[in-house]
Structure 1
Amino acid sequence: MLLTPDQEAIRDAVRAFSQEQLWPHAARWDREHLFPKEAHAGLAELGAYGICVPEEDGGAGLDYLTLALVLEEIAAGDGGTSTAISVTNCPVNAILMRYGNAQQKKQWLQPLAQGRMLGAFCLTEPQAGSDASSLRTTARKDGEGYVIDGVKQFITSGKNGQVAIVIAVTDKAAGKRGMSAFIVPTDAPGYNVARLEDKLGQHSSDTAQINFDGCRIPHENLIGQEGEGYKIALGALEGGRIGIAAQSVGMARSAFEFAVQYAKERQAFGGSIFDQQAVGFRLADCATQIEAARQLIWHAASLRDAGQPCLKEAAMAKLFASEMAERVCSAAIQTLGGYGYVNDFPLERIYRDVRVCQIYEGTSDIQKLLIQRAL
């Protein structure tokens, strides 16, 4: 698949920013668990917060293939930063683009797309991860609005974000058709960050448990109609999985390129270890797997851009890319030997960052289930 000149230019601009503003600082952000506000401001100026949002709503007016290109480049610089950007683009922006009314787009989508807000997506609960139909968080009507009560778990940007889309039960008797979607500003009374998770990786992006304790929102913060929440949530995950697959490729590529450079410089047995067949073949396998994953992603993104169903293709891309990325990072560490295992070098950090890609927005097992159902 060939990219257009505009797509190549956007990719190259984000790559330059990532190499200059993300990669040199990623180790410190990881070590100190820092949220890089200045880096996010720079990405907002590049339009990375609203890639697919129409220009009239404050976005770049581009497509999902371009979003995949952008997320790959950001992830090559820092995995955690790419996750925060990915969640804002899809599912948060994607939901508001499709289901938000004119006022909601003006009040929430526009600042999100312009990078003046960071978005969070509150679906997962302590007892409801892969089984999104078993939510317990409720939203009950009260006067001119709703009152939300419950707990959401593993919420990206739950602390650093300014607005969250929350999926809650409005009719307990209706099952999946009793869930609804709401816009909740994170400074609303009753929106409480109960804890920040101490994670294996992705330390530049917060992951929070959110307690909703009598969190009151106006009726106009309902997205779509009551009972559409389950459909809204699962529909947005399709695009989100393309994004996570692209992140996986970016992190894998970063580890791979570092390993190739090291192998060409490292001398042993009278030459560079790159020329040793065991090392060279290992890296050749990595290059092949990275490109195969990228093509799966571009295919899924192109289908979505054409308005075609891509649930199976997005699941294939996420499944293959996320598992490929762990293998490639492991191979990169093996290429450096002991140096790959210590935090003086970036590979152990990238390995920690990439591992979650097999878990969030649908585990590998869930992706296989989706693919199986489509056969």
Structure 2
Amino acid sequence: MPATRLMPTEDGQDLIDLTREICDKELRPHVDEAERAAATTPQLPTEVFRTLGRAGLLSLPYPEEVGGAAQPYEVYLQVVEEIASAWMSVAVGVSVHGLTCYPVAQFGSDEQKAALLPGMLSGEQLGAYCLSERSAGSDVAAMTTRATPDDEASPTAYRIKGTKSWISHAGHADFYTSFVRTSDEGGRGLSCFVVPGDAEGLAFGAPERKMGLHCDTVSEVHFDGVTVGADRLVGAPGQGMAIALSALDSGRLGIAAAATGLAQSALDAAAEYAKERKQFGRAIADFQGLAFLLADMEAAVTSARATYLHAARLRDAGRPFSKEAAVAKLVCTDAAMKVTTDAVQVLGGYGYTQDFPLERFMREAKVTQIFEGTNQIQRLVISRQLLKG
């Protein structure tokens, strides 16, 4: 059942309608089989991303002059939510791709924007975001992957050596937006590079065996002396931490929207089952205890959607939204975990089987509380913003 939304423009409504049509024709018929197959043989649904790209859905919030659609972030996030309601792995991939383009769009030079963004936003390329390391997850400043210039005074190229972990699209991406150390000044010593996907020296680990999101292929990215031109350095040397944190504010909203779409699907499936399943001579939806559970699930989904849309509207208005993005990520992902768990409960024993998608929804929801900053980190961000002088 499509969720009711208030769209800011006619174009926005058209994009939602187009997304729903693609989801119904190209995503929902294949998601169950693809996720089951990828659980044993990890695979990225590249054709699905190409379909979304050709429809212009991978470039919505970026300017038209570089290949985007110049849509408000509010519209883009509702597209992500709609995709998540059909196929969560793909929605996460769409959000990750948007995250990879952000540093160039916001911090790149005019020359970099002209050279890189049209390809990134063409719908034919897919990006990867290389930030985390095995010992540098929440503590980004602890990263050790390093870029060494060929000339300290006037570098023309850098050589990158190190390993990034938990990278979506690793081995499949056309470019890797990578944060690496260029000096030993802690968090002030990080820089951002866009590394071509075919760069010599790039290698990839075996895909991680995860409990969910099997079609979101994740593995390590090894930089074994990868040479990248100085023209691929985004922003100034040492600006990487600021770029990464700014990008994550927007990325968290993508995950918040995806989590909301996942929760909406779980609620829809639970409500439909409750109307059809009979016990003691009547539909289980007629029992107040279960009806109230469904009401609480609806309240959680509706609240989650309102929370991420509020943050998106602040972003679209050019106002600060870091705290609100953290609130949205926290509220929406916690709601997804609760709603998917309760949906399994509504179906009882059937909810625990693979005959219904609820057990998959529940497994997929868990990681939303972990990536793009754990929900413990979101509480840290929120409290610091709230209490700062």
Q: Matched residue of 2:180: which SS?
A: strand
Report runs of 4+ in structure 1 exceeding 3 Å deviation. Answer: none
Is residue 27–residue 349 contact of structure 1 (8 Å, CA) maintained in 2? no
Question: Which residue among 128, 151, 157 is the counterpart of 2:169?
Answer: 157
Cα deviations across residues 243-277 of structure 1 (Å, max 9, x unaligned)?
10000000010111011111111111111111111
Q: What is the CA-CA distance between 1:349 and the residue it aligns to?
A: 1.1
Tell me if the contact between 2:44 and 2:169 (Cα under 8 Å) persists in the aligned partners: no
Q: Which residue is 1:244 aligned to?
A: 255
Q: What is the aligned partner in structure 1 of residue 148 from structure 2?
A: 140
AA of the residue aligned to 2:144? R
1:36 aligns with 2:40: no
Structure 1 residue corresponding to 2:72, chosen from 63, 67, 70: 63
Whole-angstrom CA distance in 1 between matches of 2:121 and 2:357: 31
Instruction: Give, in whole Å, the separation in 1 of the partners of 2:212 and 2:118.
Output: 31
In 2, Cα distance between the equivalents of 1:20 and 1:347? Answer: 21
Distance 1:38 1:186 in 2: 18
The structural deviation recorded for 1:128 is: 0.3
SS at match of 1:195: coil
1:231 maps to which of 232, 242, 262: 242
User: Corresponding residue for 1:3?
Assistant: 7
With normalisation by structure 2, the TM-score equals: 0.94
- Is the CA contact 2:168–2:219 (under 8 Å) kept in the aligned structure 1? yes
Q: Tell me whether 1:193 sits opposite 2:204 in the alignment.
A: yes
Deviations 1:102-149 (A, max 9, x none): 332233221221211101110100000001111100000025300000
Matches within 5 A, 1:1-375: 2-4=6-8, 5-33=10-38, 34-89=43-98, 91-142=99-150, 144-172=156-184, 174-375=185-386
> For 1:193-226, what per-residue CA distance to the aligned partner results, in whole angstroms no more than 9, with x for missing partners?
0221111111111111111110111111111111
Letter in 1 for 2:140: A
Distance 1:9 1:279 in 2: 36
Deviation at 1:190, TM superposition (A): 1.1
Residues 191 and 211, structure 1, Cα contact 8 Å, conserved in 2: yes
Deviation at 1:38, TM superposition (A): 2.2
Provide, for residues 286-310 of structure 1, a one-character-per-residue CA deviation record: whole Å limited to 9, x for no partner.
0011000100000000000111111
Q: Equivalents in 1 of 2:257, 2:174: separation in Å?
A: 25
SS of the equivalent of 2:148 reads strand
Distance 1:6 1:290 in 2: 25
Further displaced range: 362-371 or 11-20: 11-20
Partner-residue secondary structure (3-state), 1:202: coil
Percent of matched pairs sharing the same residue: 40
Unaligned runs of 5+ in 1: none
Deviation at 1:344, TM superposition (A): 1.4
Q: Per-residue displacement from partner, 1:13-39 (whole Å, max 9, x unpaired)?
A: 212211221122111111111322222
- Which letter maps to 2:50? A
Give CA deviations for 1:137-176 in whole Å, capped at 9, x if unaligned.
000002530000011000111122110111011011x221
**Could you tell me whether the CA contact under 8 Å between 2:340 and 2:361 is conserved in 1?**
yes
Asked if the contact 2:7/2:75 (under 8 Å) is kept, the reply is no
CA deviations over 1:9-68 (Å, ceiling 9, x no partner):
211221221122112211111111132222212111221111111111011111110111
- Opposite residue 7 of structure 1, the aligned amino acid is G
Distance between the aligned counterparts of 1:2 and 1:262, measured in 2? 28
Would the aligned equivalents of 1:53 and 1:93 in 2 still touch at CA under 8 Å?
Answer: no
CA distance, structure 2, for counterparts of residue 123 and residue 240 of structure 1: 13
- In structure 2, give the amino acid aligned to 1:366: I
CA distance in 2 between counterparts of 1:267 and 1:22 reads 31
Deviation of 1:8 after TM superposition, in Å, equals 2.2
Q: Could you say what the CA RMSD is over the residues aligned between the two structures, in angstroms?
A: 1.2
How far apart are the structure 1 equivalents of 2:13 and 2:281?
40
Q: Provide structure 2 residue ranges, at least 5 long, that are not aligned to the other structure.
A: none
Distance across 2 between alignment mates of 1:199 and 1:76: 20
Residue deviations 1:79-119 (CA, integer Å, cap 9, x gap): 11111110111x21211111122332233221221211101
CA distance in 1, matches of 2:29, 2:173: 24
State whether residues 195 and 210 of structure 1, in contact with CA within 8 Å, keep that contact through their aligned partners in structure 2.
Answer: no
User: Contact (CA 8 Å) 1:155, 1:210: kept in 2 or not?
Assistant: yes
